[in-house]
Structure 1
Amino acid sequence: MFEITDTQKIGVGLAGFGMFFLFLGVLLLFDKGLLAIGNLLFISGLGCVIGPKRTFSFFFQRHKLKASIAFLGGIFVVLMGWPLVGMILETYGFVLLFSGFLPVAINFLRRVPILGTFLSMPGINKIMDVLAGDSNRTTGFCS
């Protein structure tokens, strides 16, 4: 196994609190203060978990530049006081940045005991297949 450092543990906590504040900000009708705090905590948590150098190289790879500009631009727009526009831009960038990780995450979540049962329900299963890009699991189409 690998050892988790104290900085990484703090980073997980910061990212978790960031996601909580983002969720709360959206729940409270795009409260710009909560969204700004959530964005800052999430980014700082990500930097603590994978390290500042790897975080910088993740966001500024040539093929991810469009997604990074959308994500970081969305954070900037939220900080400037336009939370709805900023969150739309940020969500677009987030989906582009982490779309390669999404199939791995969905297949992992399918193996979690209670959550896997929920994700195997008929309507949700089809949505998860589309999100994961798993063409082997989808049925009904002849290729």
Structure 2
Amino acid sequence: MVTITEFQKIGVGLTGFGLFFLLFGVLLYFDSVLLAFGNILFLTGLAFIIGLQRTATFFFQKQKLRGSTFFLGGVALVLLRWPVIGMAIESYGFVLLFKSFFPVAFGFLGSMVNIPVLNMIFSKLSGGSNSMV
């Protein structure tokens, strides 16, 4: 079993609050204060979870430099009170940074179809005629 340190627990909390504030800022028509606070909490939580050195190494790898530039540039634009443009640029940078992780995440979601309850829901939504009647 993987042990989680106290700093990592704090990081998970900070990241969760960061994502909450980002979602809440978008729902409130791109409120720049909430988005800026969410960005700061998200990046701080990420640094707490994987460590400051590994966070810097992740963002400044040569193959991820373009994505990091867009992501951190979008964060800077949000902090400078340009929330809509900043979030658009930040989202593009997020996709560039984590594009190697997307196949793993989609594979995991695809494997969830084998869960009986979800399989039944997906078959009903797709209009399957697996009716027992």
TM-score scaled by length of structure 2: 0.84
Measured after TM superposition, the shift of residue 114 of structure 1 is 8.5
Instruction: Letter of the 1:18 partner, please give it.
Output: G
How far apart, CA to CA, are the structure 1 residues paired with 2:118 and 2:68?
31
What is aligned with 1:40? 40
Write out the 4+ residue segments of structure 1 that deviate beyond 6 Å after TM superposition: none
Over the matched positions of the two proteins, sequence identity in percent amounts to: 55
Gaps of 5+ in 1: 123-143
DSSP 3-state at the match of 1:100: coil
Question: CA 1:69/1:4 → structure 2, altered by over 3 Å: closer, same or farther?
Answer: same
Gaps of 5+ in 2: 127-133
DSSP 3-state at the match of 1:89: helix
Question: CA 1:82/1:52 → structure 2, altered by over 3 Å: closer, same or farther?
Answer: same
How far apart, CA to CA, are the structure 1 residues paired with 2:52 and 2:21?
22
| CA RMSD across the alignment | 2.0
DSSP 3-state at the match of 1:55: helix
> Which protein has greater RCO, CA pairs closer than 8 Å, 6+ apart?
2
Larger Rg: 2
What is aligned with 2:14? 14
Instruction: Letter of the 1:84 partner, please give it.
Output: V
Instruction: Letter of the 2:12 partner, please give it.
Output: V
Number of positions where the alignment pairs a residue of Structure 1 with one of Structure 2: 122
